[in-house]
Amino acid sequence: MLENLFSGRTRRGANADQRRLARKRRSNGGGRTLRLESLENRSLLSASAGLVPLLGAGPAAPALLGPATPGWPSNVSAATQLSLHVSPGVAVNTPVTVTVDALAASGRLAGGYTGTLTVASTLAATYPANNGSIAFTNGVATFQVTFTATGETLLSVNAAATTNSPALSASKDTDVADPAVVTQFDLHLPGKVALNTPVTVTVVAENGLDQPVAGYVGPVTITSNDPGINGSTITPSWKNGKGTFQVTFTVANTSATLMVADNSGLTPPVSQTATINVVDPTVATQFDVQSPRKVATGTSFNVMVTALNGLGGRVKTYSGPVTVSINGSLYSTIPSSSFANGQALIPVTLSTPSTRANPTTLTVADDSATPNASLTKTVDIVAIDPTVVTGFTVSLSPFVQINKATTVYVTPVNGLGAPVTDYPGPITASSSSDTGATISTPTLLANGTFSFSVTFDKAGFQSLTVSDTNVPPILTQKVWTDVISPRSKG
């Protein structure tokens, strides 16, 4: 009955969220797409002409062959755009690999593109020694850049016009961060906590790359809208940029706040706020109602009612009284004396069978002097008339011998799967797959079961259908068996 109390990582501060969202948007499409011609198969391009006689020519020839295939309409030497790939967040003073794809108008790699690149950035950076003449290989150029300043930068590449392609350019934003500098906090604590009970909080000091900063040790200041948490400065227990401490909330509140702020003088200031549901474990806020899914009309069954708090724990002090209603009509009132440790076992007997048009519902509601509207729980129950036959069970072996009589037993059952011993029948038996089968007339036995014999004269999977078509609804049960021939001797 206990629900999961932990909500996982809390929401970050607005600035951190905005940076993450911006980086995510910038990175859309940033991952390289694996194409057949972009892997080791690019080396096949140079040999593609020799494959033409084997693979055939014309528009249906594989795209891998490019312009070397007669009749293929595209020119893989011509590029109409550049696609630049760089991580949305990188470390300062650390070489970063950048990849640029030359793409044809179709969006495919222009494997024969011969342009060269010039790289530039809005932040200070160290570029490759061959900047201005970075070459493409099979439509792809790869190089490294080292950013020497932190912040957001626009990295751009430009390629001069070639014989087959116009001048091309591309750009992408990325954040350059110092891995040793704390720029945000991440808080971990349960989404729901018990009133007046210590709860452990974990604060992670992170850099602009969302990585813990191992050297950070606080201290931090905690504040809350709970007056029991007085905004004191504490020094959590730190390890590898993660600090833990405990707080105790003193007021039940579905929107209690806890803010953790740096108190070591970080510039700009760093803080993070989480919202917590503080639950009074002595207050019942919901019912758990356990009952059978299907029951027989006219037979008593038990319903267990348990009072739970907002954490899913039992409230042992709750004692009702409660009301029980069936399909919206009052069935009974359960007094406080029926409750023990927050639970009550309620006997119920249903007299009316459920139907698709009129399902059966059972509702338990608080009936104290000042009823708590949240203490209401409704469950669905299927009430079944045990005297009504809804089907048959047929005891036909999965394997029978051809041209040998087999005894079959048929038991009428109700919606609960229980036998109906006073069912009069009659029933019929037939085989639609073996019309030559010999089937005796079913005989009603003393215990309400029918029996008959069947002899199949056709091998293979054969059907046997048992029916009662005398009164609606028509009852039919079809089973299958594998009719086998006896093994020959010798």
Using one digit for the tens of pLDDT, what is the confidence trace for 328-373?
Answer: 999 999 999 999 999 999 999 999 999 999 999 999 999 999 999 8
104, 138 Cβ separation under 8 angstroms: no
Residue 37: predicted pLDDT: 37
CATH of the domain at 298: 2.60.40.10
Asked if residue 454 and residue 408 are part of one domain, the reply reads yes
Residue where a domain stops, chosen among 254, 279, 304: 279
Number of separate domains in the chain: 3
Residue-wise pLDDT for 389-415, tens only, equals: 999 999 999 999 999 999 999 999 999
Q: How far apart are CA 195 and CA 277, in angstroms?
A: 10
Asked if residue 228 and residue 299 are part of one domain, the reply reads no
- Tell me the backbone φ, ψ of residue 385, rounded to 5 degrees: -75, 115
Asked if residue 365 and residue 404 are part of one domain, the reply reads no
Which DSSP state fits 469? Answer: -
Q: Is residue 209 part of a domain?
A: yes
Q: Is residue 260 part of a domain?
A: yes
Residue 20: predicted pLDDT: 52
Residue 132 Ramachandran class (φ > 0 left, ψ -120 to 50 alpha, else beta) = left
Whole-Å CA distances, 69 to 36, 51, 54, 113: 17, 9, 11, 18
Asked if residue 466 and residue 404 are part of one domain, the reply reads yes
Q: Which helix (H) or strand (E) holds 245?
A: strand 242-247
Q: How far apart are CA 400 and CA 485, in angstroms?
A: 9
0.95 surpassed by pTM: no
Q: Is residue 415 part of a domain?
A: yes
Residue where a domain stops, chosen among 384, 406, 435: 384
Q: How far apart are CA 186 and CA 13, in angstroms?
A: 8
Asked if residue 323 and residue 247 are part of one domain, the reply reads no
Asked if residue 348 and residue 417 are part of one domain, the reply reads no
Asked if residue 262 and residue 203 are part of one domain, the reply reads yes
Asked if residue 300 and residue 331 are part of one domain, the reply reads yes
Q: Is residue 93 part of a domain?
A: no
Q: Is residue 440 part of a domain?
A: yes
Spans of the chain, pLDDT less than 70: 1-75, 471, 488-490
Residue where a domain stops, chosen among 248, 279, 310: 279
Asked if residue 379 and residue 420 are part of one domain, the reply reads no
Q: How far apart are CA 360 and CA 223, in angstroms?
A: 51
Q: Is residue 71 part of a domain?
A: no
Find tokens 């009072």 and name the residue.
Answer: 307
Contacts 24+ apart (CB under 8 A), 186-189: 186/9, 186/10, 186/12, 186/272, 187/9, 187/10, 187/258, 187/260, 187/272, 187/274, 188/8, 188/9, 188/10, 189/10, 189/258, 189/274, 189/276
Q: Is residue 44 part of a domain?
A: no
Residue 63: predicted pLDDT: 38
Asked if residue 302 and residue 270 are part of one domain, the reply reads no
Which residues have a Cβ under 8 Å from the Cβ of 142 and sit 6 or more positions away?
Answer: 97, 98, 99, 100
Q: Which residue range is the domain that position 215 belongs to?
A: 184-279
Asked if residue 413 and residue 367 are part of one domain, the reply reads no
Q: Is residue 111 part of a domain?
A: no
